C-alpha cells in the first residue's frame, strides 16, 4: 500500500501554501489534508484558508474541517469538485 505523501510547508508564506495546496488538488485531481492552528491559537485562520482556497480555485470543495487529534490544531480536507453529468448525455 502506498504511504500518504507529506510535505512540510512551514517555510512558505500563507499565500504560497494556499497556492501549492490548490494547485496540487486541481493539477493532480487529488484530495489534500492539511493542518492549521485552531481558533483558540489564531482565530479565523482555518476559515481564512478555506475562503482563499475557494476564491482562487473554484473547482475545489471543502470535504471536512474538524479539530485534529493534536491540541489546538484544525484539520482541513479539500478535493476536486465532483463533475455533475448532464442527465441526458
Q: What is the pLDDT of residues 50-71, one digit of tens each?
A: 999 999 999 999 999 998 888 8
Please state the domain extents for the chain. Answer: 14-80
pLDDT for the residue numbered 89: 47
Class of domain 14-80: alpha beta
Q: Is residue 3 very low, low, confident or very high in pLDDT (cuts 50, 70, 90)?
A: low
CB atoms within 10 A of CB 60: 19
> What pTM value is reported for the model?
0.83
Instruction: Please say if the pLDDT value at position 79 is more than 80.
Output: yes
| The three grid cell numbers given for residue 56, joined into one nine-digit string | 482562487
* Rounded mean pLDDT, 7-29: 94
What average pLDDT score do residues 26-42 get?
A: 91
Kind of pairing, strands 60-67 and 73-80?
antiparallel
Amino acid at each position: 500500500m502506498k504511504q500518504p505523501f507529506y510535505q512540510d510547508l512551514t517555510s512558505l508564506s500563507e499565500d504560497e501554501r494556499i497556492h501549492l495546496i490548490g494547485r496540487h488538488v486541481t493539477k493532480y485531481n487529488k484530495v489534500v489534508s492539511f493542518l492549521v492552528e485552531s481558533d483558540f491559537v489564531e482565530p479565523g485562520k482555518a476559515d481564512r484558508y478555506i475562503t482563499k482556497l475557494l476564491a482562487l480555485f473554484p473547482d475545489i470543495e471543502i470535504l471536512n474541517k474538524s479539530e485534529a487529534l493534536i491540541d489546538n490544531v484544525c484539520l482541513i480536507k479539500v478535493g476536486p469538485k465532483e463533475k455533475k453529468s448532464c442527465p441526458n448525455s
